[in-house]
């Protein structure tokens, strides 16, 4: 039974999730709660592994490393946490030893949906934030750069508290 509401609960996806949790030390209740609620929001509980927006809003964003024409759409959100930007993609490609990551968001989404989420989260210092009792709003600001759909993220976190 899928009590959290996640859409893709195939054995292979759950194995990837468990591997991700272990690899990136998402092992405490609070870390798991925040991770599952944020990935749940960003991916529509696993429905989307590529950002719904075109990525055009990221075009020319030097803070994301998007310095070449077409980088915005090419390196738009991918994976369950919607990793974004040429710089993040390159760091991830180096980490996994797969330069095909630099193809585009569709490659990352199909091959590394959980791993890209865990990688970005770990490198963004989320474990420390969770360990210091960060609120859903604080975590959301780090993940999203603002408080986009904070009510839904809070509801998912509250649900996660009843499960994890």
All domains of the chain in start order, with CATH: 11-163 (1.10.530.10)
**What is the chain's pLDDT, residue by residue, as a tens digit (164 residues)?**
466 788 888 898 899 999 999 999 999 999 999 999 999 999 999 999 999 999 999 999 999 999 999 999 999 999 999 999 999 999 999 999 999 999 999 999 999 999 999 999 999 999 999 999 999 999 999 998 899 999 999 999 999 999 98
Residue 53: CB atoms within 10 A of its CB come to 13
pLDDT tens track for 107-147: 999 999 999 999 999 999 999 999 999 999 999 999 988 99
Helix, strand, coil fractions of the chain, as percent rounded to 5: 60, 0, 35
| C-alpha to C-alpha distance for 24 and 76, rounded to whole angstroms | 23
Of the chain, the end-to-end C-alpha distance in Å amounts to 15
Give me the DSSP letters along 11-68.
HHHHHHHHHHHHHTT--SHHHHHHHHHHHHHHHTTTT-SB-SS-SGGGTT-GGGT--S
Q: In this structure, what are the phi and psi dihedrals at residue 50, rounded to the nearest 5 degrees?
A: -125, 135
| C-alpha to C-alpha distance for 159 and 98, rounded to whole angstroms | 36
pTM (global) more than 0.85: yes
């Amino acid at each position: 039974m899928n009590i959290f509401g996640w859409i893709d609960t195939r054995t292979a996806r759950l194995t990837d999730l468990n591997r991700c949790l272990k690899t990136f030390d998402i092992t405490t209740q609070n870390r798991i709660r925040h991770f599952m609620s944020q990935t749940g929001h960003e991916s529509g509980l696993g429905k989307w592994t590529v950002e719904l927006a075109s990525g055009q809003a990221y075009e020319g964003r030097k803070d994301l490393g998007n310095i070449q024409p077409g980088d915005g759409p090419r390196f738009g959100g991918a994976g369950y946490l919607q990793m974004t930007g040429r710089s993040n993609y390159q760091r991830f490609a180096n980490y996994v030893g797969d330069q095909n990551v630099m193809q585009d968001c569709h490659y990352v989404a199909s091959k590394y949906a959980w791993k890209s989420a865990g990688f970005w989260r770990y490198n963004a210092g989320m474990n420390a934030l969770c360990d210091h009792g960060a609120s859903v709003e604080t975590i959301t600001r780090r993940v999203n750069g603002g408080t986009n759909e904070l009510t839904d993220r809070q509801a998912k976190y509250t649900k996660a508290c009843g499960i994890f």
